[in-house]
Amino acid sequence: MPCVLFMAFFQKKAQLGASLSSLAALTFGLAACTPQTANTPPQGATGGSSPASAPSAGGGTISINGAGASAPNLVYQRWFQEYNKQNPNVQISYDSVGSGAGVRRFLDQTVDFGATDDPLKDEDRAKVPADRGKAIQVPSTGLFIVMAHSLKEVPDLKLSREALCGIVDGSIKTWDDPKIKANNPNVPSQPLTFVHRSDGSGTTAIFTRHVEKACPNWKGGSGKTVEWPAGTGAKGNEGVTAQIQQTPGAIGYTEYSFSKQNNLPTASLQNKSGAFVAPTPEAAAKALEGVNVPETFAVNVPDPEGKDAYPIVSLTYLLLYENPRDPARAKAFNDFLKWAYGENGKKFATELGYLPLPETITTKAASALETIKVATK
Collapsed DSSP state (helix, strand, coil) of residue 341: coil
Distance between CA atoms of 312 and 314, rounded to whole angstroms? 7
Label residue 349 by pLDDT band (50, 70, 90): confident
Q: How confident is the model at residue 248 (pLDDT cuts 50, 70, 90)?
A: very high
The model scores a pTM over 0.75? yes
What is the pLDDT at residue 343?
87
Distance in angstroms (rounded) separating the CA atoms of residues 145 and 304: 13
My answer on whether 286 and 163 are in the same domain is yes
Using the predicted structure, report yes or no on whether residue 108 has a pLDDT greater than 70: yes
Indicate if 92 and 166 belong to the same structural domain: no
CA separation for the pair 227, 219 (Å, rounded) = 9
Q: Report CA torsion sign: 171, 174, 175, 180.
A: negative
100, exposed or middle or buried, with CB in 10 Å at 0-12, 13-18, 19+?
Answer: buried
Number of structural domains (the chain) is: 2
Q: Are residues 166 and 66 in the same domain?
A: no
Residue 119 lies in a domain: yes
Q: Could you say which of 234, 260, 293 is where a domain stops?
A: 293
Compute the Cα dihedral for 195, 198, 202, 205 and give only its sign: positive
What is the extent of the structural domain holding 343?
12-141+315-369
Q: What is the mean pLDDT of residues 167-184?
A: 98
- Is 297's pLDDT higher than 80? yes
Tell whether the model's pLDDT for residue 221 goes beyond 80: yes
pLDDT at 377: 62
Which tops the pLDDT comparison, 75 or 266? 266
Rounded CA-CA distance 228/221 in Å is 10
User: Residue 59 has what pLDDT?
Assistant: 59
Mean pLDDT across 337-352: 86
Are both 227 and 258 inside the same structural domain? yes
Which segments within the chain are labelled E, that is strand?
Answer: 3-4, 62-68, 90-96, 113-116, 135-149, 158-159, 193-197, 232-234, 250-255, 268-270, 276-277, 292-293, 313-321
Band of residue 140 on the pLDDT scale cut at 50, 70, 90: very high
